[in-house]
Amino acid sequence: MNNELSTKPTTEKDWTDLGTTNFQEGEINIAIENFLYALTINPNYIDAQIGLGNCYYVQKKWDKALKYYRNVLEEIPQSLSIWLNLGNVYFELEQLDKARDAFFKTIELKPDYAPSWYNLARFYETTDIKKAIETYQKVLGFDPKYTSAYYNLGILYYKDGMFKEAIKSYEKALETDPNHLKAWLNLGIVYHDTGEIRKGILTYERALKTLSEHPELWFALGNLYYKQGSEEDLINAVKSYIKGLELAPDEPSGWSDLGGVHYKMGDLNKAIDYTQKALEVDPKYIKAWFNLGNIYYKKYIKETVLNDDLLEYKGYALWCFQEGAKLEDQDSLHNEQILIKEGIEAIKPPFFLEYQPEEEE
């Protein structure tokens, strides 16, 4: 943006107005420069101090935001928005008693203001879940379309084992915001955890009608198809994982889970290929090391029926378990010890002889 007005700014108001325009256009650092310049003209100019507090709030520079919000409240102690932001700053700084007091102050200033009660509910999440639930319900009494309150209620109900209430809360969140990705994902998780896998699948399929660009949904759908487990479901799981990986090719869990589906389908060679791809993307992805070791061990069991000279697969398995154990994976450590007791020697699989992960700078 051209950092000029139609006439050159001269007063503290001019510089503050310019900073406000910068802030609205996302040019936060330039906004800060202009607000600070306004304060060189008039160190007590409130609008510039509010602007600086808001800039530092957006940048998550909490201590600096705190300084300017406190300055503002010395001059205008009845400012609802500043008290609300001050409470959020204290919350982020983990000064919870001060956050609570600030939120109560906003309620004192405007008792029916839903955001004040919402932030108080966030505070209660750290101290008293039942009070948090009651307070979120109060938020919804003031504003029945407060999406975040429904969403947070869903999380609290889920944590408390109140799954029916969690489902209702997530569904209400989606009524008010049909594109709320996390609500869709969490709703599917509740159905998974209550054993209603098919409902979870239908939930993700509904979400993908409008949110198909989100790989998380494709991976979540693949997981539920995998859990369902029929031949048709496993084929659909493969399709879902592939779609997710087209959108997020650097997601190791997607490659590892795709390998897991092929393992379950009995195609061990593809299972190996996809699980190795997960480790190419992230050599520290522990689950993939454990899974790859299991696949090689399964390949040994399957193929030694025809050829008893395939002990190298056990060696490959041991090497993978050892790599996982280095990352403190207990499953890998357990399986490593079993194979060591059998007298097996670790052998680096062919893929890893060719592939060398880049060293971190």
303 vs 242, more confident: 242
Confidence of residue 337 (pLDDT cuts 50, 70, 90): confident
Q: Which amino acid type is present at position 99?
A: A
Please tell me the distance from the alpha carbon of residue 241 to that of residue 154, in angstroms, as a whole number.
Answer: 27
Are 336 and 321 a contacting pair, CB within 8 Å? yes
Q: What's residue 360's pLDDT?
A: 38
Tell me which DSSP letter residue 310 carries: -
Q: Could you tell me which of 158, 87, 166 has the C-alpha nearest to residue 123?
A: 87
| HSE (side-chain half, CA atoms, 13 Å) at 215 | 15
CA–CA separation, 49 and 206 (whole Å): 47
Q: What is the pLDDT of residues 183-224, one digit of tens each?
A: 999 999 999 999 999 999 999 999 999 999 999 999 999 999
Look over the chain and give the mean of its residue pLDDT values, rounded to a whole number.
92
pLDDT of residue 359: 44
Domain boundaries, the chain: 1-77
Tokens of 134: 């009651």
The pLDDT, as a whole number, for residue 122 is 96
When computed from its CA atoms, the radius of gyration of the chain, rounded to whole angstroms, is 28
135 vs 129: CA distance, rounded Å: 10
pLDDT cut 90: percent of the chain above it: 83
Q: What is the pLDDT of residue 342?
A: 82
- Rounded to an integer, what distance in angstroms lies between the CA atom of residue 63 and that of residue 50? 14
Q: Which two tokens stand for residue 292?
A: 């790859």
| CATH fourth-level superfamily of 1-77 | Tetratricopeptide repeat domain (1.25.40.10)
What's the pLDDT score for residue 1? 46
Which helix (H) or strand (E) segment is 263 a member of?
A: helix 252-265
Res 332: pLDDT: 83
Residue 47 has pLDDT above 70, yes or no: yes
pLDDT of residue 340: 84
Residue pLDDT, tens place only, 27-44: 999 999 999 999 999 999
Q: What region, left, alpha or beta, does residue 260 occupy, with left being phi > 0 and alpha being psi -120 to 50 degrees? A: alpha
Q: If you average pLDDT over residues 336-352, what whole number do you get?
A: 84
Mean pLDDT over residues 179-186, rounded? 98
pLDDT at 70: 97
The per-residue pLDDT for 204 is 98
Confirm if 114 and 137 have CB atoms less than 8 A apart: no
Whole-number pLDDT of residue 333: 84
CA distance 170 to 185: 10
Residue whose entry in the numeric block shows the structure tokens 């102690």? 77
Percent of the chain with pLDDT over 70: 93
The answer on pLDDT for 356 being more than 60 is no
Minimum mean pLDDT range among 199-208, 244-253, 290-299: 290-299
pLDDT of residue 344: 84
Lowest-confidence pick of 111-115, 192-196, 313-317, 353-357: 353-357
Question: Can you give the pLDDT at residue 306?
Answer: 54
Mean pLDDT of the 128-137 span = 96
Residue 6 is predicted with a pLDDT of 52
How many residues are there in the chain? Answer: 361
Identify the residue whose tokens are 């209702």. Answer: 168
pLDDT at 61 over 70: yes
Name the band, by pLDDT with cuts 50, 70 and 90, for residue 172: very high
Euclidean distance between CA atoms 99 and 117, whole angstroms: 12
